[in-house]
Each structure stands twice: as C-alpha cells, then as structure tokens.
Structure 1
Amino acid sequence: MGSHAGNGYFGFGPYRLNPAARVLRRGDDLLAIGSRAFDILAALVQNHGRVLSHGELMAFAWPGLHVETSNIRVQMTHLRREIGCGENGNRYIVSVAGRGYSFVAPVIWEEASEPEDRYASLSCHQACCNGSDGATTTSFPPRLSHPIGRDESISKLSQMVAERRFVTVVGAGGVGKTTLAILVAHALHMFDHACFVDLGMIDDQTAVLGAVASALEIPFSASDAIGDIIGQLSPRSTLVILDNCEHVIDAVAEIVGPLLRRTASAHILATSREAFRLPGEAVYLLRPLGVPAHPGRLTAAQALLWPAIQLFVERAVDSGYLESLGDEEAATIAAICRRLDGNPLAIELVASRMGPYGLDRVAELLDNQLSLRWRGSRYANPRHQTAEAMMDWSYALLSDMDQRVFRQLSVFPGEFSVDAALAVMEDDDFEQADIIKSIGNLIDKSLLSLHPGMGPGHLKLSGIAKTYAAFKLLASGKRALIDQRQSLYHDQVPQECSASMVGSWDTGQAIQLQAS
C-alpha cells in the first residue's frame, strides 16, 4: 500500500479521498457512502493498478471478522453506484475474473492546505452523542437545500413519522418524495439512529434484504438476514428510510411486516409511486407544487407568489435567462407550469433550457419529443436526468394491458370520463372490467389523477405523462385509429367531450404534437 501523510488526499476524476480523515468529496460536496464501502474504496485507491482479492478487501472492511463473500459484492455494487462507475464512460473499479477487483482510473496525491474536517463523517450514534441537531449516518444523504413550497409538507410528514411507525410518501415520479424524506429525517430529533436504503438501482426482488443489511452496515447472512436486521434495529430508536420502493414493492412488503412486529421502536418511512396497502400503513400523498388556475389573468407579482412559478424562474435564471419578467412573460410561464402540472422535476428540466432556447421556443417545444430528452443535473439519478427516463421507469412497471390503456388515454387533451375512455378502446377486444381495472391501476401508480368536475368524476393524465404516452401511441401505429374513435365519441356526446377539451392550455394556445 502506498504511504502518504495524513494531511492530503487522493484525487481521481471529480473526487477527492482523504483516508485519514475518512472523507470523500465530489467537488465541494461531501459524499456519505457508508463505512464499509469507504474502507473498500480507500484500499482500492491506495493500491490502484493492483488486483485486490476478496480476502484482502474483507480484511480491510471487516478486520478480524469472517463474513460471506456476498457482502463484498453487495458493497461493491453500492460503491460503484455511488461514484458513478460505468456512467458516461467513467471506469474506476473493474472486476478481474477469479482474482478480485482493481482500481484502474488515474490517481494523484495532493497535499491539503489545511486539515480536513474529521467530524463530517461521524456516524449517527456519535453525532447524537456530540449534540448533533439531527439524525445522520455515514450512509445517510447530507442535509439538502430547502425546497420551494414544501414547508407544510415537511411539517405534516414529520408529525406523521413521529406518531406512526410506518409511513409511505406516495406521488408521481419527480414530485420530490426522496427530497422530502431526507429533509424530514434531518428535522426530527426523536431517533437515535437513521438509516437510508436506496432501492432505486436494485433490479432484483431478492436483493432487497441485502441492500437493507448493507445500509445498516451488518454482514449479510442468507440464512437469517431478517433476523440479523431486526437484531440491529431492536436496541435503539431507529428511523429506516426505504427509498424508491415501487419496482420491488412485494419484496419490501415482506420485510416491513416482521420489522414492525419484532421491534418496539423502529419507524419506517418509505417512498413509492404507489402505496403498499399493508395493515398499519399511513399514506402521505405528496402533491405537485401549486400552480394558478387562470394564468392568463396574472400580473408578474401575482405569478411569483406561486411555488411552481418561483421554481421555474429560479432555474431559468440559473440557466442564463436574463430577460425581464413582465406580465405577458409571467402568464406564459404560468401556463407552462400548469401544463407540467406543477411537477418539480419537470419544471426544472424545462426551465433549464430557458437560457439557450428562450421563453417562446420553450413553450413551442413543450409537447415535442425533444423536451422529453432535455437533460438535467449530471449528478442526478439516471432515471431523473430526463423526463423520458423518469417516465420510462414508471412505464416499465406497468402490465401490457395497463400500458395499452395508458397510451390510448393520451388522445384526450384535457379531462375525460370513464365512459369516454371506454369508448376509445371498445374495439380492442378489451373487456370493460379490464379497462376499468387498468384505469384504477394507473391512478394507484400516480400516472392518472382524478379531478373534480360536473357530473361523473373526470380523469386526467399529467402533462409529462400525456406527452410521453402520446409518443408511445404514435410509435405503436394506432394513433389514427384511436383519434377516429375519440372523434366519433365526440360527435355522439358533444356536451361531455366539449368539457373534456378544456385544459390543454388555459391561454387558448394549442401546441401541435410533433415527432422528432
């Protein structure tokens, strides 16, 4: 192993690693990856270019303990995800068949001008003992900047988590579920320990237990993993955040029950695009940011009172947009935010193009496929880097029947009734009961929303979901047929369909669907 003084760091890519202070930074941001993953990374970096065996890595991460080799694989998967190994062509750690792992990226050593903050990576237990003002662990995400328009959500969810042992934050993709959960965990002071489990990169139901064990930093035992986890949680008051559960929801449900039954003071805060529907679950529905109902009547000052418009303007300025905000521009921005249904991620992605495109062009391209592929933060989770990736994630979790119904509902420009939905699908060998079931599934999975209206309840696809579904329908080759059925229904029931046409653009603009 290379020998270096403690007051310095190894640099690779955008990262700086100080093994002595146990600190990893990406640029100026402190990364919390967990003590086991940190030990493995430090060993690999300090021995860059050399292959380290499973045994050598276990000796670094679990000194004096005998653990199963599967623990190395679990930690390596977690570590590679945290440092973006394999993303955008970046190669840091490679697996050498039959031998072990090697760090292959260029590494430099630099002396630090001043000592690194050794207390930045304290475990939750140490932080609490030293008077920390919130729960944190070495694997827990750092405190985030305060999001616009979420004060009430933070307050209400904090109260729910304090009073109930199992709470699920449910909402559409990009609405801010993860951010809210992290903020609540930092705001609460009642827990001795907090654990964050990111399930977003796990594609196998059987890997959920291993991910939870890894986040708790305990060796994974296939024989009694749930017992080991319960044993770790039982002695103290713990908040476990299970993030991005929707694609492994059955496996997570099998863990939640035993954890609640066999521990006395563990609380679970889950985030998902659908509820678990388990006994004892309290659901917090996270709504989009507030948008004005009639954007064409707003002054600029009035528009900036709305959280969605505040967020849009902030991100537009960040993108280099320096034009003044008058009443006319405010009305257009309000219409865009309403078209995006106040979804924070969608707003950020669209507003990030204000600098290079300008307001008029952004509005013009909003329903173009190009807008689905506008990229956001390069450090964002891959499924949150574009609106298309966000929707791909949800779409892939649907059954074939639900996907077909989802696509065909995109022909409605605004709200529509169940009867109207049945009419455009009646000739596809669908049973009415199956269509209604799929509509219910889409509501449960936060892709379709119920809107109050005159007469029967009306449904609506959100802006991004509708644009995405429309292009999926176009690709399926059935767009013209479904349009024809919708027109026929419009002729038969003109009053209802006239009402359903309201809502695409409150300013009266109609944006042409374009394939690009």
Structure 2
Amino acid sequence: MTMIEKKPVAGVFFFGPYRLNAVERTLVREGSKVILGSRAFDLLVALVQRQGAVLSRRELMEFAWSGLSVEDSNVRVQIARLRREIGCGDNGIRYIASVSGRGYSFVAPVEWSEEGPPQSVRVEGSYGLPPLLKRALGREDNVVELSQALRERRFVTVVGAGGVGKTTLVTLVAHRLPDFPRIYFVDLGTLEAGALINDAVASAIGVPSTDEDTQAGITDRLSGAPTLMILDNCEHVIDAVAELVQPALRASSNVHFLLTSREALRLPGEAVYLLRPLGAPPHTGRLTAKQALFWPAVELFMERAADGGHHQPLGDEQAATVAAICRRLDGNPLAIELVASRVGAYGLDRVAELLDDRLSLCWRGSRNAVPRHQTVEAMLDWSYALLSEKSQKVLHRLSVFSGEFSLDAAAAVAGGDDIGPSDISGAIVDLVDKSLLAFQGGTGPARLKLLGITRTYAALKLAESDENTRIRGKHALLRMQNFPQRAFSGKVPFADTRHRPAQPLF
C-alpha cells in the first residue's frame, strides 16, 4: 500500500470553478466558501493531491481517519457527501470517479500555484495554453473574426501556410475569450504517428490512464462545462484528428474545437478560417519610409532587424528594398523574422541578394522555437514530407515559373510519361490544399503562383534532381512557342512579379 503524504501541500489547487487551500482548509467556489465536513475535506485533499491516481479505500481511511479503526463504508458515505457538495455529476461534470474493485480517482484537471489564486477565470481554467504575447502585428482583425467564428460555430480550423502565424492567432483568441470556463491546448506537432493522439489528448486533459476506453474518457471529460479544445499542428496526423473530433462533437454540445493545420480536415460542420500573410506594400512606384511602415510586414521586418543588431531607422532610400523583400517572402511572418534577423550581420542589400540562395533558407531563428520553425528550410521540409511523390515532382517542376502561370502552362512543363494530366490536376489540388501553391485573384483564366520562399525551396530540389536540365528545357521551349502571342497582344507570358505587376498569361 502506497502511503499518502499526510502533511498538506502549501499553495492553492484549482479545479473547475474551485480553489482549494489545504493548509488553510478552505474550499472556495466563485468567491463563496463551500462548507465541508472535516472527513470529506480530508478525502478531497488526498484525491486532489494525487490527481489521476487511483486511491484505495484503505489509503483514504489512513489519510482521513489516521490511527482510528473504522468501517470501509465510512469512505463510501463521505465520498457520496463530497460528490454532492461539489456538484460531481451535475450537468455531466465529473470530479471523482469510482474504479471498480480498486477505489477512487480525482479525474478533473488540476492546477497548483504556490502564489495564491489567479486574478481571472481565464487563467484558472486554461490548461497548456502558451503565454499571451504583448502584441501580434497586423492580426487584430483576425482575432475579432476568429472569435466571432468560434461563438457561432463549434468546429473551426485555422488553415494557412507554415510560419503564417496560426498558433499565435489561436493563442491570442483563447486568452481573450470569456465564453469558455475551460480551455485545453494540445500541440500535436511532436507526435510521430496518429495512433498517439488519444494518449496525448487524454494526458493533457487529465483523463486517468486507467480508463480502458481512452476515447470514451476524452469524450466524457469534454462533455461537462463549456470547453474549448485547441489542437495545434494537425496536418501530419489529420486522419486521426478527424476520428477524435467527430465523436466528441456528437456526444456533447458543450465542446468547441479550434484546430490549426496547413490543410482543412474536410469534415461535416467544419468552418475553415483561412489565415492570410501579413500585408506588404504593392509595387506601385516610389515609396517613402513613412508609407512603408504603415504595412505590418515592413513594421515586423524592421523590429526584428533591430533585435538582430541593425539599429538604423528605415530611410526613404531603403524603403523600396525592404518592401521588395517582404513581397518576396509573401508576407510570411516567420520567414520575415528569420531573414530580418540577419540584416545586422549581412547588410540590407546583401540580404536581398541572397533570398534566392540556400543560405537564406538555413538562417536560424530562436533557439527556443520548435525544430520545424528554427529555419525556413525546416518549415518547408515539414510540408514537403506530407506530399505524395508525384506532388513533390510537380512542385519541383513548377519552380521554373518566376511569376504567375496558367493551368495549361503547368501541364505542359510538369507533365510527362511519369505524370499524366489527371496526376497534374491532383497534384495542383494537393499543393493548394496544403498552402504551398496559390490561385491568384481577378477575372479571366485561372492563374497560379508558387509562394516566393516555396519557389526558392522547390527550385533547389529541382536543381538537385536528374531532371533539372530537361524541365528547364521544356520551360524554355514553351516560352519560345508563345513569343508570337507576346508580339500581337503585348502580354508578357512569364512575368517576373518580383519587379513589376504580374500580367495575364495565355
């Protein structure tokens, strides 16, 4: 028999709406003291201090009736009284579970603080949520829109390219929402297989490992008070996530799911929130520093450049260069931060020159960042590994286009004996869904474009392959075949959009 520490733990335990101070022997619910008998209070302390563990009747008796000889039924009576006083079982909320033949377990999530009670319900009911950032440039409108979406829908997936700020956005929203007494945040990015999801989620929300059916335990835990479950980085285990989300949504109307992923789950009831990159100045002519700094991408670039040792303010003569870099990086916050951090060491002009070089993909950011966010290359490796072999080949081959291109042009260059027309269509859908390829807006025939940093990455992959010369030859031939169109229409078939506005193709 494992002995339970009789001496109460100093500090405050938090579970649901309750604050438990074992030393002061107080239990407070929403500012009001809950009166418990001394035995019931002792049993609560024992269970909370060993949250998730199964305590036998004998262990509980030793804790609450130390040195006394009492019947086992006393534990059962006091547990029933304790459950009634704290509302265990009301509206599906469960705190104390009976484990047949073994004893009892406190199954609600518990947090402990040695500094006393928190100042808001938000902190009190949040589990695993990253700390709130002081600010996130250019995301205030996104916070408002996503918060509204969560109030109206029970299942929202934030979709966007790697490094665009999906985790940052959901963290901002979670800290500002007053609607949910309980918020759980689970990062799935470290999982190597979908089979591990149930265990990871169960551990995060406090479902005891003794539960035979982990899925049922998760569903039961989420069916109590209004709960927001945030699952971060779902793209590599997306099928397993779908199998977790659907039963939980069917079982309870109290649970809301907020997911981040590089592609949507495509489940019934899912609302997809597309997170766009930060705004960057368009290439419309002369740009002053004051005008450039109105754009969040430029503001972020200059802040991170200063953090990296570049202490010169943005002048009018550098504004166009910084704006061009931000456009080249497609307003991607992570890419902007990594590139801007090298301005102090390399100089602004040299950084701009190296954007198409592998060196820029390998510049490291924060040592505290997760591995997939420490370099641009690691960020893209994560997405690239999720592609099929045919989609990877199409991505390589499309890198020969420096600007916008048509579907016909994509088929002409990327197609071949090994990749037929249906494969091209499927690969393009796959690349768009995974936020690696974008359809351009406007009227007329559909046009596509590889994101700037993605194109650099894909071009390096193509250069390393044995088909580099052949694919570039096909692209050159296609350009030659379309020169007559240029002569009669004045259109530029393969506009380099880094230097001038893109024009329609074909």
Same fold (TM over 0.5): yes
**Cα displacement (A) at 1:331:** 0.4
Q: Which runs of 5+ in 1 are unaligned?
A: 1-18, 24-58, 67-115, 509-516
Give 1:488's aligned residue.
477
CA contact (8 A) 1:22 1:118 kept: yes
CA separation in 2, counterparts of 1:262 and 1:352? 48
Give the equivalent residue in structure 2 for 1:502.
496
Structure 2 distance, partners of 1:502, 1:234, is 54
Q: Distance in 2 between matches of 1:287 and 1:409?
A: 22
Whole-angstrom distance in 1 between the partners of 2:211 and 2:193: 15
Q: In the alignment, is residue 165 of structure 1 matched against residue 161 of structure 2?
A: no
Asked if the contact 2:12/2:113 (under 8 Å) is kept, the reply is no
Shift of residue 504, structure 1, vs aligned partner: 2.9
Structure label with greater radius of gyration: 2
1:118 correspondence with 2:114: yes
1:228 counterpart residue number: 217
Question: Structure 2: which amino acid aligns with 1:203?
Answer: E
Q: Structure 1 residues 455, 240: closer, same or farther in 2, change over 3 A?
A: same
The 3-state SS of whatever aligns with 1:408 is helix
Offset of residue 507 of structure 1: 9.9
Distance in 2 between residues matched to 1:64 and 1:388, nearest whole Å: 46
Report what 1:446 is aligned to. Answer: 435
- SS of equivalent residue, structure 2 residue 268: coil
Q: Per-residue deviation at 1:234?
A: 1.1
Deviation at 1:378, TM superposition (A): 0.6
Q: Is the Cα–Cα contact under 8 Å of residues 349 and 374 in structure 1 kept in the other structure?
A: yes
The answer to whether the aligner puts 1:430 opposite 2:419 as a matched pair is yes
CA deviation profile, 1:51-85 (whole Å, cap 9, x unmatched): xxxxxxxx97745449xxxxxxxxxxxxxxxxxxx
Which of these residues, 134, 145, 164, is aligned with residue 156 of structure 1?
Answer: 145
Q: How many residues align?
A: 399
- Deviation per CA, 1:351-396, whole angstroms, max 9, x where unpaired? 0001111101100111110000000011011100000000000000
1:251 matches 2:259: no
Cα 1:291–1:136 shift into 2, 3 Å: farther
Cα distance in 1 for residues equivalent to 2:309 and 2:252:
52
Which residue pairs with 1:315 in the alignment? 304
Cα distance in 2 for partners of 1:222, 1:425 equals 51
Instruction: Report SS of the residue matched to 1:297.
Output: coil
Instruction: Check conservation: 1:135, 1:186, Cα contact below 8 A.
Output: no
1:476 counterpart residue number: 465
Alpha carbons of 1:487 and 1:454: their partners in 2 closer, same or farther (altered >3 Å)? farther
For the Cα contact (< 8 Å) 1:243–1:271, is it kept in 2?
yes
Aligned CA distance change for structure 1 residues 387 and 200 (closer, same or farther; 3 Å): same
1:385 aligns with 2:379: no
Q: How far off its partner does 1:225 sit? A: 1.0
The alpha-carbon deviation at position 21 of structure 1 amounts to 6.1
Taking every aligned residue pair, what percent have the same amino acid on both sides?
55
TM-score of the pair, normalised by structure 1: 0.73
Give, in whole Å, the separation in 2 of the partners of 1:388 and 1:271: 20
Q: How does 1:168-207 map to 2 (within 5 A)?
A: 168-207=157-196
Q: CA deviation at 1:478?
A: 1.7
Q: Which residue of 2 aligns with 1:78?
A: none
Tell me which amino acid in the other structure corresponds to 2:231.
Answer: L
**For the structure 1 residues 406 and 117, does the alpha-carbon distance in structure 2 shift closer, same or farther, using more than 3 Å as the test?**
same
* One-letter amino acid of the counterpart of residue 292, structure 1: P
Deviations 1:157-177 (A, max 9, x none): 000011110000000000000
**Which region of structure 1 is more displaced relative to structure 2, 323-332 or 219-228?**
219-228
Q: What is the TM-score of this pair, normalised by structure 2?
A: 0.75
For 2:212 and 2:52, the matched residues in 1 are separated by 19
Gap regions ≥5 residues in structure 2: 1-8, 14-48, 57-111
C-alpha spacing 1:398/1:320, structure 2 compared with 1 (3 Å): same
Alignment check: 8 A CA contact 2:52 2:206 kept: no
RMSD: 2.4
Q: Which residue of 1 aligns with 2:87?
A: none
Partner of 2:67: none
Counterparts in 2 of 1:337-416, with a 5 A limit?
A: 337-416=326-405
